[in-house]
Structure 1
Amino acid sequence: MSTPTLFHLHFNTPAVTVAAERLAGAGLQLQRRFGSVRGDSIALGPDEGTPDDFRLKLQTHQYGVVNVTLAPGRQPRFDHFGLQVTGVEEVRAKAESRGWSVRSNDRRTFVMTPWGFRVEIHPTTSDVVAELDEPTVAHLEKVVLRVPAVPTVRTAFKDVFGSVPELRIESGEEPWIHSFAIAEKRTTTTIPVRTPLTGENTPT
């Protein structure tokens, strides 16, 4: 199995609009909004107006091979991140051998880790990956995941998914993406996650 690529982050926040504005300031423009109008599912492009009675389910922001999803929630929460992998079935087998739950649909596979967060995996040929731009435009670096029991998490994570160069696993009280960096051709922008999701300063 070749080296996986971390390209996707998914967060819940009570302030989707504010978070979206802050992500846009870092180059992550709105790509699409998904929701419903009176029970009917609808997808809106970035320049389409919001219909009456529109209920937002989630929206995606994209730049290069960086894809960030924002979904409404009562409080800021890290839900999952996504990897491009060459061996989806190999990852599935390793996860299931550890007793982890694995669920798939037509577009993606989710692996539930025992630490309270999911990992979404895509083959490099999936339509989700095909919608991304080139990594030379922008890509993720230094995604800092904070969890308890760091040595255990590091060992098991590497065994199931392989070594993920973009990911840093550090000690924290609960699963949380503390920060991530968007690397462009000449610049790198680090985004403390609590700042775009809540407007608060992120503690070190």
Structure 2
Amino acid sequence: MDMPDTRLFHLHYHVPDVEYAEQVLADNGLPLRARFGSVDGETVAVEPGEEPPEGFRLRLQDAQRGYANVTFTRGKHVQFDHLGIVTSAFDVIIERAKKADWTVQGVDGPRTFLIPPWGFRIEVHPEDGRIATTLGSWEESRFENVVLTVPSPSEVEDGLQSVLGHISGVSIRKGESQPHVPKATLGGQAFPGGLTIRASTLAADSASETPEEAK
């Protein structure tokens, strides 16, 4: 499968127990890549198997395999925060977002965020940028299908299409509450039959699957 011009590479969740969620992904073939935090205000990265230094304060950590990356930060419950794309049309997308009156943040920084009017953010990176170079092989592992649930799917789908164009691997469905990604399916050589990871499994005390998560 050829890489599309604009493709999903990243999901970010808040979870109550980062270590538990990390293990869930590792057990499903998406291993820890690094933990990021600080010691006395200085940024520190901790590699897998490395003991965090004394006084380490975790900010976030990510798991990655191939072209699929998932990051976690601590929160009271499992909550979707944002998704990330890599694109060959970076400048065009930024201009479209501005014309659509989306908030655009960090264009000149390491991460650019678009904030559409639907309660979630979109992290955007050019395919020749630094983040894209840290990703692995598209053929090895990628997001085949990520379900995004929102109260007004037609409005969101049309709005995303007008600014971002077609995003490979995203399905937009009806949800009754705030935007959520209840499940994501991984594919590629590492997951030849496809592997679906559900957000409801990322917390040890999660309740049984809700109607949105069952979609």
Q: Which TM-score band applies after superposition, normalised by the shorter structure? A: over 0.9
Give the counterpart of 1:54 among 47, 50, 56: 56
Does residue 1:175 correspond to 2:179, yes or no?
A: yes
Pairs within 5 Å for 1:121-132: 121-132=124-135
Q: Provide the C-alpha distance between the structure 1 equivalents of 2:131 and 2:203, rounded to a whole number of angstroms.
A: 24
Q: Provide the C-alpha distance between the structure 2 equivalents of 1:66 and 1:123, rounded to a whole number of angstroms.
A: 16
CA gap 1:37/1:20 in 2 versus in 1, 3 angstroms:
same
Partner of 1:159: 162
Contact 1:192 1:202 in 2 (8 A): no
> Taking structure 2 as the reference length, what is the TM-score of the superposition?
0.90
Matched positions, count: 203
How far did residue 198 of structure 1 move? Answer: 4.8
SS for the counterpart of 2:202 is helix
Q: Provide the C-alpha distance between the structure 2 equivalents of 1:198 and 1:145, rounded to a whole number of angstroms.
A: 23
Contact 1:76 1:198 in 2 (8 A): no
How far did residue 36 of structure 1 move? Answer: 1.1
How far did residue 29 of structure 1 move? Answer: 0.7
The farther-off stretch of 166-175 and 89-98 is 89-98
> Taking structure 1 as the reference length, what is the TM-score of the superposition?
0.94
Q: Provide the C-alpha distance between the structure 2 equivalents of 1:4 and 1:135, rounded to a whole number of angstroms.
A: 13
How far did residue 74 of structure 1 move? Answer: 2.3
Q: Provide the C-alpha distance between the structure 2 equivalents of 1:197 and 1:39, rounded to a whole number of angstroms.
A: 29
Partner of 1:187: 193
Q: Provide the C-alpha distance between the structure 1 equivalents of 2:82 and 2:196, rounded to a whole number of angstroms.
A: 19
How far did residue 187 of structure 1 move? Answer: 2.4
Q: Return the letter of the residue paired with 1:189.
A: L
Q: Return the letter of the residue paired with 2:67.
A: V
How far did residue 182 of structure 1 move? Answer: 1.0
- The answer for unaligned runs of 5 or more in structure 1 is none
Pairs within 5 Å for 1:40-189: 40-104=42-106, 105-172=108-175, 173-185=177-189, 186-189=192-195
Give the counterpart of 1:11 among 2, 10, 13: 13
Can you list the C-alpha shifts for 1:135-190, whole angstroms capped at 9, x where unaligned?
11111011000001111111011010011120000000210001001113222110
- Over aligned residue pairs, what C-alpha RMSD do you find? 1.4
Q: Provide the C-alpha distance between the structure 2 equivalents of 1:76 and 1:40, rounded to a whole number of angstroms.
A: 28
Can you list the C-alpha shifts for 1:52-106, whole angstroms capped at 9, x where unaligned?
2211000011001001101112222111100011121211111111111001143
SS for the counterpart of 1:180 is strand
Partner of 1:39: 41
Does residue 1:202 correspond to 2:209, yes or no?
A: yes
Q: Provide the C-alpha distance between the structure 2 equivalents of 1:11 and 1:136, rounded to a whole number of angstroms.
A: 25
Q: Provide the C-alpha distance between the structure 2 equivalents of 1:79 and 1:16, rounded to a whole number of angstroms.
A: 15
SS for the counterpart of 2:64 is strand
How far did residue 199 of structure 1 move? Answer: 4.8
Q: Provide the C-alpha distance between the structure 2 equivalents of 1:109 and 1:143, rounded to a whole number of angstroms.
A: 21
Contact 2:5 2:89 in 1 (8 A): no
- The answer for unaligned runs of 5 or more in structure 2 is none
